[in-house]
Structure 1
Amino acid sequence: MTPRDASDADGSRWSDLDRPPLNATSLRRALVRDGGHGGLYRDLEVVQRTGSTNADLVARAVAGDADEGAVLVAEEQTSGRGRLDRRWTAPARSGLFLSVLLRPAEVPVARWGWLPLLTGVAVATGLARAAGVDTALKWPNDLLVTVGGEERKAGGILAERAGEDGVVVGVGINVTLRADELPVPQAGSLALAGAVNTDRDPLLRAVLRSLEEWYGRWRAAGGDPAASGLQEAYAAGCATLGREVRAELPGDRSVVGEAVAVDGDGRLVIATRDGVQEPVGAGDVVHLRPA
């Protein structure tokens, strides 16, 4: 199916009064600067339905059809992916599903691994302001909320290289998902967490403005996570630190211990029972006990 601007989809605008479509014109007016001057965002497109906004934007970037600051938002994703190729599915207009193209030319490639963590900080900061709901980050890039006293995943981030000079960061956030719509019991949504605002237009504006702010700060510091304040901000909002965790690593290896820090390379440092501090750069982390 060819993606179309959501506002152009016949009959879609009032098909679910509890879940109105995003206002693409208003979002562009608020976020996109003429010619891209004075801000990050060059273009913002809202499509009714697509397989994956990340896949679409990576393809455009590689083909030379997208500039830095291009934003692609879908009202519904049919093949959304999370980390480790996990599926991400949700009803149409129940969440925010978006991707942004970044080209951090001033930053050494070795520091680009901070981009998904940076996006997590930006999303959590933006949602705290606009939704009035407490959020936390599970290393490396899950967004957690509290529902009925339990920690639930309400969002995730996926960063993918787009050619030699680009990275596409994708964000998926459950906004109005109801209990009977949850894909798994461990999932949650902003609405279930008691958000004071679930209007997706201001939520999207807040998330993108926060991303623009953090990305600008990080880029101005040459990608230095300490100088930009990113490392400190991530640690402050990370629910993984101070907990007993199990990291499932490539090669069928696992590490169990206390998560004690996020180092300068964005790796999770785990203090094992043998007294060894082991940095983990990739893998699946399970929280074994509350903080």
Structure 2
Amino acid sequence: MTSSHGSGGPWSDLDRPPLNAAALRRALVTPDGLWTSLDVVPTTGSTNSDLAARAGDLPEGAVLVAEEQSSGRGRLDRSWVAPARSGIFVSVLLKPAVPVHRWGWLPLLTGVAAATGLAKAAGVDISLKWPNDLLISVGGEERKAGGILAERAGEDGIVVGLGINVTLGEAELPVPTAGSLLLADAVSTDRDPLLRAVLRSLEQWYGQWVRAGGDPVASGLQAAYTEGCATLGRRVRAELPGERMLEGEAVTLDGDGRLVVATEGGGTEAVSAGDIVHVRAES
């Protein structure tokens, strides 16, 4: 039996069934839980943009999932495009009652939560590339399988978007350095349990972090991120704002979640924004 990608009906691709929105709501939207609503839309430009536009009218914990995004965005306004129902494209609205200077930890927290949830549900080891990429191993090669984008929404809100490649085959990858859970030999590529696992893990980590007043040490977040971070201990090149370049060894994270890079002259510099490239060791 062959699947037809071009017919456009919801069941046209038997390998990529739609998400079960009603079952997801039953499982995740509970009276005492973080998640207050969960909507699944067939297609949209960007779940982050849609949720941010409604942030003033929604309580914390709104979840928006799209089966397909036509204008999904990554950091630095890069586009994120994938076939319909081939991945998890989800945004959540958070209104953390913690000091704003701690909010920089939210993309890192989401990375820890996603890696933790997917390790259990998909049986795949996921490492974290600072500040917002999910890395997997495909044939012994490090590939990007997901990304995180956090954006302020209104006075007290922040929308965190997460995109994860689930069933993309090699020919469907946007770039050769991308990967998917399927290509990493996941034990499951059923998106319903994968999404449930990620959102439950995010609820747990976010709850710990908020109860600790956003303290990354007391909440265990800094230790968990450090343990799972593939960037630390590596030689990196940081492409910083203003076309400035910094190269050195990524040695630690500081209390604000910034990447501390040891430079050639013996000093260190904390990087809060910019593109990080893992520099391959010369053989």
Query: Which category of TM-score, normalised to the shorter sequence, fits these structures?
Result: over 0.9
- 1:64-143 correspondence to structure 2 within 5 Å: 64-105=56-97, 107-143=98-134
Matched, 1:40 2:40: no
| Residue 26 of structure 1 pairs with residue 23 of structure 2 | yes
State yes or no: 1:12 paired with 2:6: no
Q: Structure 2: how far apart are the matches of 1:43 and 1:131?
A: 25
The aligned counterpart of 2:187 is: 196
Question: 2:244 is matched with which residue?
Answer: 253
In 2 relative to 1, CA 51–11 (structure 1 residues): closer, same or farther, beyond 3 Å? closer
Q: Secondary structure at the match of 2:120?
A: helix
Q: Does 1:286 align with 2:277?
A: yes
Residues in 2 aligned to 1:182 and 1:65: alpha-carbon distance in whole angstroms: 37
The whole-number CA distance in structure 2 between the counterparts of 1:135 and 1:12 is 33
Unaligned runs of at least 5 residues, structure 1: 1-9
**For residues 142 and 126 of structure 2, what CA distance do their matches in structure 1 show?**
10
The offset of 1:65, in angstroms, is: 2.4
Q: How many residues are treated as equivalent by the alignment?
A: 275
For residue 15 of structure 1, report the CA deviation from its aligned partner.
1.1
Paired position in structure 1 for 2:151:
160
Structure 1 ranges of 4+ moved more than 4 A: none
> 1:147-205: per-residue Cα shift (whole Å, max 9, x none)?
11110000000000001100000000000000000000000000001101000000000
> Which amino acid in 2 is paired with 1:91?
P
Give the equivalent residue in structure 2 for 1:145: 136
Evaluate the alpha carbon distance shift between residue 54 and residue 261 of structure 1 in structure 2; reply closer, same or farther with a 3 A threshold. same
1:51 aligns with 2:45: yes
Structure 2 distance, partners of 1:76, 1:150, is 27
- Matches of 2:102 and 2:185, distance apart in 1: 36
Tell me how far apart the structure 2 counterparts of residues 222 and 192 of structure 1 sit (CA, whole Å): 39
SS at match of 2:39: strand
1:236 counterpart = 2:227 = yes
Whole-Å separation in 1 of the counterparts to 2:179 and 2:170: 8
SS at match of 1:30: helix
User: By how many angstroms is 1:13 displaced?
Assistant: 3.4
Matches of 2:150 and 2:174, distance apart in 1: 22
Q: 1:262, CA displacement in angstroms?
A: 0.8
Percent identity between the two aligned chains? 76
| 1:289 CA drift (Å) | 2.4
SS in 2 for 1:127: helix
Name the amino acid aligned to 1:104: P
TM-score by length of structure 1 reads: 0.93
C-alpha distance in structure 1 between counterparts of 2:9 and 2:197, whole Å = 25
Q: Cα RMSD over matched residues?
A: 1.1
TM-score, normalization by structure 2? 0.96
Looking at structure 2, the residues matched to 147 and 89 of structure 1 have their Cα atoms a distance apart, in angstroms, of 20
Distance 1:13 1:77 in 2: 15
**SS of the counterpart of 1:203?**
helix
Q: Distance in 2 between matches of 1:289 and 1:274?
A: 21
